[in-house]
């Protein structure tokens, strides 16, 4: 033991703990050269996902959503939406009255872990029960309303109302759902009840909802991105580039593509930037070897990445005098919200940091410890922002439109104090000079966006009937 300590002392030499920690964190810092290499690999994988021959082996699947029309402001009426994408799900009633004019009522329902890890029948029966209760509470049981279903897990779509689950993410692992049509599973659950009359008009994920919600106000929105519990993006692609598209385009030139970029790197493309913390996160996950980009970006893992670094430096005697706490050494007990709180401190102040450390049982931290904790948080969150930026910049450059609005949603993007600014500046550096872009915070994309997809589908049906 003394020999190991002496070796460490020799390695550290006269350098401060701060110097050693900052040097050790260099693996988390991505320069522009590295980001451009990531963009190149990302675009290669996008092309593989779009082509029939390479699609089965592609990590970024580029699923066709069959959404080909964006809102035009003429959508009217009442619409229901289901939003399933995490440990809670929502039911929404949205009344569209005109361009930018709407009323919305919603209710959040919990999904117990026993259901998240149970059977598909249990999950969809639970959803159907909550939907039935919502409809009764709002006294709309005598109306037959169109419904948009946001299902924020990897889906292979065969039409606007047919989507097969590829794999579970975000801690879900319900039996009997993978490779099944989730719209059919929902409709089966509603039929078992017999007391809910709805028309499922569309199945979509939260990125599509985000894009649609922003496009309702800004018709220039052509990319939707999520940086929250999970991470993903969709974008507008030309139909001629989508070999997996097998629908009737009816003369339409474009279709939304759900990239499922969270799986980027599953084939080893990101191994050159993965750290020991990334490998440990993956090792102890329920989907080992899968969703590797998401594990480097999303809020589900950001706090744990920071915790693993804190544990390493504490055990090395570089933080907290080498003394941690039970909560520090317990998996997933350093929450992602702590990262946002710590980085919200003004420069030189550590009020939030001291509060967070006290909450996890560390009462003996110094100002130097807090400065180092903040630096570690900044490295992890900046890397997440830059990886997201590289993906978005690659899509912007691929589309090559002179002006693009990017709709963004998700708890990390919303609540982290620096995430928007980090993304904006990095996307600007990585996009082609002639392209203008802006980032638009989505207002309830996964909910309102689902209703808007249903509204657009309903509008198109009425327009076809009128012809």
The residues annotated with a catalytic role in the active site are 170, 206
Of 262, 332, 204, 307, nearest in space to 42 by CA = 262
- Cα separation, 292 vs 352, in Å, equals 30
Token digits for 168? 């579970």
- Cα separation, 140 vs 110, in Å, equals 22
Token digits for 277? 């913390």
- By the 8 A CB rule, do 260 and 50 touch? no
**CA angle, corner 257, sides to 252 and 258, nearest 5?**
155
Alpha-carbon Rg for the chain, nearest whole angstrom, is 23
Phi and psi torsions of 91, nearest 5°: -115, 135
- Cα separation, 445 vs 451, in Å, equals 9
Q: How distant, in Å, are the alpha carbons of 37, 196, 266, 285, 410 from that of 34?
A: 5, 53, 18, 27, 25
- Which DSSP string corresponds to 396-440? HHHH--SEEEEEEESHHHHHSTTHHHHHHHHHHHHS-TT-EEEEE
């Amino acid at each position: 033991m003394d020999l190991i300590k002496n070796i460490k002392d020799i390695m550290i030499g006269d350098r401060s703990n701060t110097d050693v920690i900052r040097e050790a964190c260099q693996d988390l810092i991505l320069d522009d050269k590295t980001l451009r290499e990531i963009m190149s690999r990302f675009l290669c994988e996008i092309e593989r996902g779009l082509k029939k021959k390479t699609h089965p082996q592609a990590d970024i699947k580029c699923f066709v959503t069959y959404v080909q029309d964006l809102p035009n402001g003429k959508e009217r009426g009442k619409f229901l939406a289901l939003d399933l994408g995490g440990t809670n799900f929502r039911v929404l009633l949205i009344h569209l009255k005109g361009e930018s004019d709407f009323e919305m009522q919603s209710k959040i329902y919990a999904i117990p872990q026993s259901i998240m890890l149970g059977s598909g029948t249990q999950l969809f029966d639970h959803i159907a029960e909550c939907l039935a209760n919502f409809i009764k509470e709002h006294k709309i049981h005598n109306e037959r309303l169109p419904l948009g279903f946001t299902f924020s897990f990897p889906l292979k779509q065969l039409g606007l109302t047919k989507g097969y689950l590829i794999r579970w993410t975000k801690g879900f692992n319900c039996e009997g759902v993978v490779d099944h049509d989730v719209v059919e599973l929902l409709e089966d659950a509603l039929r078992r009840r017999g007391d809910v009359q709805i028309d499922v008009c569309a199945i979509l994920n939260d990125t599509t909802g985000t894009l649609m919600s922003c496009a309702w106000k800004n018709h220039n929105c052509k990319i939707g991105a999520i940086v929250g519990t999970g991470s993903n993006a969709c974008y507008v692609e030309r139909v001629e580039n989508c070999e997996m598209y097998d629908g009737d385009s009816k003369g339409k030139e474009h279709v939304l593509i759900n990239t499922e970029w969270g799986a980027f790197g599953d084939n080893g493309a990101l191994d050159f930037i993965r750290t020991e913390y990334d490998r440990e996160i993956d090792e102890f996950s329920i989907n080992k070897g899968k969703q590797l980009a998401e594990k480097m970006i999303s809020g589900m893992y950001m706090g744990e990445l920071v915790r693993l670094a804190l544990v390493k430096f504490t055990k090395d005697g570089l933080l907290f005098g080498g003394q941690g706490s039970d909560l520090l050494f317990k998996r997933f007990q350093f929450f992602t919200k702590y990262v946002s709180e710590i980085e919200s401190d003004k420069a030189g102040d550590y009020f939030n940091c001291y509060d967070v450390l006290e909450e996890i049982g560390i009462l003996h931290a110094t100002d130097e410890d807090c400065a180092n904790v903040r630096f570690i948080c900044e490295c992890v969150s900046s890397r997440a922002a830059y990886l997201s930026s590289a993906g978005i910049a690659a899509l912007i450059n691929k589309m090559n439109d002179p002006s693009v609005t990017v709709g963004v949603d998700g708890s990390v993007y919303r609540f982290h104090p620096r995430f928007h600014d980090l993304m904006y500046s990095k996307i600007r550096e990585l996009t082609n000079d002639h392209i203008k872009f802006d980032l638009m915070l989505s207002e309830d994309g996964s909910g309102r966006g689902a209703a808007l997809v249903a509204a657009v589908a309903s509008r198109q049906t009425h327009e076809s009937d009128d012809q």
